[in-house]
Amino acid sequence: MCLAVPLRLIEVDGKKAVGEALGVTRELRVDFIKEPKVGDYVMVHAGFAIERLPEGQALADLEAWEEMDDALR
């Protein structure tokens, strides 16, 4: 099973970027994203952004992650 996480890009430098979600930041690669920009939401798997997400979908996905985290506490 694969697991991918939505992140919002907060820095972009060529094919390298930094993404943030739920207070956590991660370095990632954006090789597969055409013209990535700060503020874009992307789905990240194994350190690579694999697709751009609409903001509404990304926020809904993050809400589900928060619900799962709350249920495990």
We report the CATH number of the domain holding residue 23 as: 2.30.30.140
CA distances from 16 to 29, 30, 64 (A): 5, 6, 27
Does residue 55 have a pLDDT over 70?
Answer: yes
The pLDDT tens digits of the residues spanning 16-32 come to 999 999 999 999 999 99
pLDDT at 9: 98
Does residue 1 have a pLDDT over 70?
Answer: no
Which element (helix H / strand E) includes 28?
strand 24-29
The pLDDT tens digits of the residues spanning 37-47 come to 999 999 999 99
User: Could you tell me the residue range of the domain that residue 13 belongs to?
Assistant: 5-72
Spatial distance between the Cα atoms of 21 and 34, rounded to a whole number of angstroms: 21
Regarding pTM above 0.85, the answer is: yes
For 14, the 3-state DSSP assignment is coil
- When divided into structural domains, the chain yields a total of 1
Query: Exposure pattern of 6-15 as b/e (b: 16+ CB <10 Å)?
Result: bbbbeebeee
